Structure formats: C-alpha cells, structure tokens
Structure 1
Amino acid sequence: MEKMRIAFILANLRGGGVERMTLNLSEEFVHRGYEVDLLVAEAEGEYKDLVPAGVNLIDLKKPRLISCIPDIRKYMSEQKPDAFISAKDYINLTVIFAKLLARSKTNLIVSTRVNISRQLEVLNSRNFKVVAKLVKHFYRFADHVVGVSKGVADDLYKITGIDRKKIHVVYNPVVTEGLLAKAEEEVEHPWFHEEVPVVVTVGRFDKAKDYPTLLNAFRVLQDSKKARLMLVGDGPERSHLESLVEEYKLQDVVDFIGFQSNPYPFMKKADLFVLSSAYEGFGNVVAEALAVGTPVVSTDCPSGPGEILDRGKYGTLVRVGDYIGLSKAIKETLENPLPKEKLLERSLFFTIKNSADSYERLILDKGKE
C-alpha cells in the first residue's frame, strides 16, 4: 500500500516556536509511516541542521513566502499530497491562495498560533489588520482550521464566523523524548553553582513578550528577595531591554544569554520559569518548563497559559502588565514551589503523541466533521 503523503511548510528555519513545533510534528509522522515533505521558502537558519531524518526538505529558494505561491501550486498539482498542514496566519493564507489556484483537493489544515484580536490590540499594525481581514474572508476555504488553545479557537470563530465544527483545538506538540533528552545536557553558568535562586525566561525579544514588565517586577523584587534573572533569546527589543537593566540598576542580577537552540538545560536548572507576555497563542515555553519540572509564574494573557496551568492549579497567574503582582508571585513561588511530580503530571497533556493523534484524525477525516 502506498504511503500517505503529508506536506508541511515554513518561511525559513530560523529559531522559533512554530518552526520547532513543525519539526516535532513532521518527525512524528515519519515515525508513523507517512511520506513527509517540508517546503521552506528559504531553507536557512539555526534549525536547518535539525530537520529530522526521513523528512524530505524542499527548498523553494525564495526570499519572500508570497513569491512561493506558484511553487506551492505546482507542488500540489504534481505531488498531490493527501494533506497539507501549515501554521502562522500569513503562511496559511499563502497556502490557501495556492490551493485555490491549483484547484487542488488536498486536505488543507491551517493552524493559528496567536490570539488575532489581542495581537491587533497590542501592535495595532496595518499589516496585521490586513491579515485579519484576509483570515475573515479566506479561512473558509481550508478544510480544517486549528486553534492551538481554546482561546484562539474561540477568537477564530468570532473573526471568521465559519462553521464551529470546522474549528478544532489542538495543543502544540511540545513534550517529546528529544526535549527531555536535551534537557539533560550540561550547560555552564556560574549562577547555577551559587545559592541565590535563578529565574529564567525564554523567548524572542519583541513587544508581545512584554519583558519590560518582567524587568520592572525584578526591580521591585530586589527590595524583598535575592534572585537572579536569565533572559534566553534575542530580538529587536534587546537594546531597549539592556537600557532598562541599566536604568533599574539590575546589571548584577540580570544576564542576557542570547539565542540557544537548546534552552532546556537552562529551564531545568532554574528555580523558576516566568512568562510575562501580553499575548500568546499557546505558550510553548510554559508547557516545556512543566515538562522539565520547573515551577512557573505567568501572565494570564490571551490565550494559552491559563489553559496550560489549569487556571492557576499548576502555576501562578497574574494580570498582564501587573509588575507588582508579578514580583509578588515570583517571590511566593520561589519560597513555596509546587511539587515537581505535579508539574510533570500536567505536562503529559501536551505530548507529541496527543497532538499528532489529533492532527491524524483531521488528516483521515477530510471534511466529515
């Protein structure tokens, strides 16, 4: 019997949550016996060497994803994949346009990774407004629409008005054997050998992550609790964040670690993981922290962290932008952390198996739900 063919697509292989989750999912489907193609507009970036064995990497060699529409159309017409899975709204729209032009019967599954309405509130960008309008009019042409949390799924329904039965909640494929193995790797930093507790955050330095609130919380924390903060990541807001560290006189307690293709040892060795985001779609790093047994404090941003932490049962939630509340939660959690066993138990909800099972049901049941 001929193998079923599944296609995934990315703009590039630079470090990011969507890229990491796509590689996780593609590897799992190879293990399940599928023929898996990964189309990439420009196959460059930190994750290029991490493309799983058995995945057919197709480099479209285009600097912009929108330029790939003819290539995607040709791929659909010639290869006729049984299913095509995409993530990120602008990528989803590109694939929808290609499918319409190809008049393809491929089962198209598009996944939204952010709360679009909240994203528009925070960034108020013309580009995002255009994308939101296109989502409203064109997502109806996908066979299945996935939200990575209940909050995202509800927001998609509000924006698009498409049949609610066509919208599905599928949590990201976060917890894998590879993640757990990588978390065991050695990482050296002098702070891990000292008695002062270490707080870690991991993410892109952009406005969505709202790191100024975290730094402000750490400024307040210094009056009542000794602690140090590691920021793992990089991005356009770095220079602004570095200036805030100087302004708040936090140079001795804050360290910028830079981008790490394997951030998990930092997360595992930390005493606490903190997410300060203004908005998320899911919040992969929250589930990753649980998977390595590290306590979590997070903003209750739309959408994802509140669901992962089960409304505070598995970690403290604070209001978005509330640096006083965040400082208090950090102090209290460092002094009274939840048992590691409880955190690990919760992480099992976000395994690669659970996510792949959900996608597989959509792959095998085109348009029937």
Structure 2
Amino acid sequence: MLSLATKMAQMGNRVDIITLFDNIEDYQFNKIENLNIHHLTNNPNNNKRNKTIFARVYTRILKFRADKQHNSDVVKNADKLLNKIRELNVNFDLFISNLIDTDEVCTQASLPNLYYCIHGSISEEIKFNNLRNKFVALFYLKRDLTFIKKLYKNKRLITVSSEMADDLLTLGIMPKSVQTIYNPFDFNYIHQQADFYLPSEQDYIIHIGRFGPEKRHDILLKAYKRSGISNKLLLLGDYNSRYGSKTRQLSIKLGLQNRVIFKGFNQNPYPYIKYAKALILSSDSEGLPTVLIEALILKTPVVSTNCLTGPSEILVDELEEFLSPVGDINGLAKNIKKVLNYPVEITDKYITKFDADKIVQQYLALTK
C-alpha cells in the first residue's frame, strides 16, 4: 500500500492515506509531495491492530465477529471516515481498502468507486485459523465463509495474484468483479539500496522472513542439510520469538549451528539478497511473496516451495523447475543443490510485470 501510494504521489497524483489507528511513522512520508497521512484514532494501545499482515488481522477479527462492541466500532469508524473525507473537502476519484477491518468500515460508509484489495489466500487463512482448534473447526469454517461471502458479495475486488482470484471464486464468493493487479516494485530504489553496504559474509544462500509456523524454517533447515552444499545459510528476520527459539534448537539438533547464521532483522536486506548465491523460500503459505520478486530484480537465483499463492506466477518458464511441492524436503534439497550447480540467468522478462510505473497505470485506469 505505501509503495503504491508513494509512487502515485511521485507521478503527480494527490494521494491520501487514512488509517484506523495511528501506526504509520509519518516522518517517512512528510517530504513526499502530494502524499498525505491521516489517522481516525490516535490510540497507542491499538497500534498493533492494523500494523500486521492480513493473516493476523483476519484471524483476530473472525474470533470476535459476533461481538456487539466490534460491530459498534465499525459504525463509529465509518462515521469518523466520512467526517474526515468531508473535512478534506476533496472529490476523490478512487477508494482502495487494504485490510479486512477497513473493508468493513468502508462498506459501512458506502464509499463511491470503492475497490477491496485482497493480499492473501482466503482459503489458506481460514484453514490456518481453524487448525488451532480442531474440535470446532467445522463450525468456524462455516461461520468464517459466511462472513466473507457476505462482505464481498457484489463488491469490486483486486487480488495481488491470479491464484488468489481463483481461490476466492472457488470458495463461492460472488463479487461484482475481480481483477489481478500485482504489488508495485520500484526497481531503481531496490538497486540503490542494494549498493548501500557490502555484507561481511561471502558464498552464502539466504532466507528472509519472520519466524512463524507457515514459513517452515524446519523444512528449510532439513532440506539445507540434505542438500550437502558447503555454502552457509543466512537467516534474516527477528528470531526473538517462540518459533525463532525452536529454529535455533533445531539447527543445533541437526549439527548446523556453525553453518546456519541467525542475522536478525535488517531494515535494508537488499545487499544480502544481491550477493547471495541463491534465495530460498520454504513457506506453506504466502500472498504474493515480495522477497522472491526482489531477488529476481537483483538477478539473484531463487528456489521456492510451490505454495498457494504467488510463487508459480513469479517463477515461470525456465525458473519453474526450481519450484518444489510444499513440505517436500527432498525436492527442496535437490533444487537448492541444482540452483547452485546450474544457475539460470535472470533476465528482465521475469520482472517487467511488477514494475511500479505499470502497476500505477493499472490503478489509475480504475478512476475512469
């Protein structure tokens, strides 16, 4: 969302970002002409609610769907949103909602020319949510689907991958329209950031991502060991969590403690991506995995599980052979070894569809 808004503003369009809670660090965008940030609520206790990925918001919202207080909050926030729009006194050409809680608020507000942008696989999120309590899984599955079908019925939807569109239609959701517009990537910015410093490590492969169950660091470590390669494995991401601790313990159990390097979170991971021999993704589930596209932009070879959704739309043609089935340790191990021994040249044909300039034009076309 922020990348799209920034690029739109840089191209001379007025862009206003309205958040439910004060969770965007405004100073990052104060110097961008035409870009304005507004908050409906300044409550530091709620900052984490909207500062999260689709999966977390989706899980939490559905748990409290029947809560009358939540429904009341939706109405109140819709009133705040309409008041803010009247206060701005701007005749906006396009409204885009990017999270499920803002989807509800925007629906309640009946905004004109409104599109709902879906950033994750709905079926995978419902599945992940219900796995937490198998005894009531069937009940929650039916309830969650009922809510989603009602929310998006006869609405104009945007998905960030084609597989997401297929996924929601398969679930029986009946939108007014659905189209795929990929997330935008600023190629020049990524290349500039990649030259910002030189990593001290050499001859390594890399994985970038938070430590969570769907990222499957356990599969990654086992496949890495089975591949038999001599390159070190760098893990970029905040490992100060339960899953981070479990991954550390597993690396010791597998005898990899001297070969798997926990680098922690890095605000600018691009130099590490640029100089890596390969980037590996081992996830069970993704939306449109940004890190795969960023690696290709920097001409770094990629190996990935073929999870729903995204990887198969990114790794196409000659790169398709580096996709392995989800959870397949042997398949991932073979591809890790193969990508190092027989790397494929990464050309612009793999990335042009993700160029920010093209993506912005697709969004601007919605204003007509």
TM-score (norm 1): 0.80
- Choose from 155, 159, 174 the match for 1:162: 174
CA distance in 2, matches of 1:247, 1:30: 50
The whole-number CA distance in structure 2 between the counterparts of 1:89 and 1:288 is: 26
Q: CA deviation at 1:264?
A: 1.1
Moved more, 107-116 or 87-96: 87-96
* Correspondence 1:34 to 2:13: yes
User: Residues of 1 paired with 2:281 and 2:27: CA distance?
Assistant: 28
Instruction: Out of 114-123 and 317-326, give the one that drifted further.
Output: 114-123
In 1: Cα distance, 2:170 partner to 2:84 partner: 33
Indicate the larger mover: 72-81 or 203-212.
Answer: 72-81
Shift of residue 71, structure 1, vs aligned partner: 2.5
Whether 1:140 aligns to 2:153 is yes
- Find the counterpart in structure 1 of residue 300 from structure 2: 294
Distance verdict in 2 for CA 1:155–1:90, change over 3 Å: farther
Q: List aligned pairs for 1:331-346, cutoff 5 A.
A: 331-340=337-346, 342=347, 344-346=348-350
Query: 2:206 aligned with 1:216, yes or no?
Result: no
The superposition leaves residues 306-362 of structure 1 with CA deviations (integer Å, 9 ceiling, x where unpaired) of 01112653661000011111111101101111114x2x3311221111211111112
- Residue 362 (str. 1) matches residue 362 (str. 2): no
Deviation at 1:258, TM superposition (A): 1.7
Change (3 A) 1:82 1:132: farther
Amino acid at match of 2:238: D
Match of 2:162 among 137, 150, 154: 150
Report the counterpart of residue 316 of structure 1 in structure 2.
322
Match in the other structure for 2:28: 50
Deviation at 1:168, TM superposition (A): 0.3
Measured against aligned partners, the alpha-carbon deviations of 1:145-187 in whole angstroms (never above 9, x if no partner) come to 0111111011122235325x61001111124321221112114
Q: Does 1:75 align with 2:79?
A: no
1:170-185 equivalences under 5 Å are 170-185=181-196
Residue of 106, 114, 118 corresponding to 1:95: 106
C-alpha contact 2:181 2:362 (8 A) present in aligned 1 = yes
Whole-Å separation in 2 of the counterparts to 1:324 and 1:90: 40
Q: For the Cα contact (< 8 Å) 1:170–1:358, is it kept in 2?
A: yes
Instruction: Work out the percentage of aligned pairs sharing the same amino acid.
Output: 28
How far 1:131 moved relative to its partner?
5.3
1:135 shift after superposition? 2.1
Residue 77 of structure 1 and its aligned partner are, at CA, apart by 4.5
Q: What is the CA deviation profile of residues 232-253 of structure 1, one whole-angstrom value per residue up to 9, with x for unaligned ones?
A: 1226421221121122121111
Deviates more, 1:301-310 or 1:229-238: 229-238
Q: For residue 255 of structure 1, what is the aligned residue in structure 2?
A: 261
Partner of 2:67: none
Match in the other structure for 2:58: none
Residue 94 of structure 2 contacts residue 366 of structure 2 at CA under 8 Å; is this kept in 1?
no
- Deviation (angstroms), 1:29: 1.2
- Asked if structure 1 preserves the Cα contact closer than 8 Å seen for 2:209 and 2:237, the reply is yes
CA distance in 1, matches of 2:298, 2:181: 22
CA 1:57/1:203 → structure 2, altered by over 3 Å: closer, same or farther? same
Shift in alpha-carbon separation, 1:157–1:271, aligned structure 2, 3 A: same
- Cα distance in 1 for partners of 2:251, 2:27 equals 34
> What is the SS of the residue equivalent to 1:313?
helix
- Aligned alpha-carbon RMSD (Å): 2.5
Moved >6 Å (runs of 4+): none
- For structure 2, the 5+ residue unaligned runs are 51-69
Q: Quote how far apart the aligned CAs of 1:291 are.
A: 0.2
CA distance in 2, matches of 1:44, 1:313: 38
Matched length: 326
Which blocks of at least 5 consecutive residues in structure 1 are unaligned? 1-21, 365-369
Report whether the alignment pairs 1:349 with 2:353.
Answer: yes
Given that residues 113 and 282 in structure 1 are in contact (C-alpha distance below 8 angstroms), is that contact kept between their aligned partners in structure 2?
yes
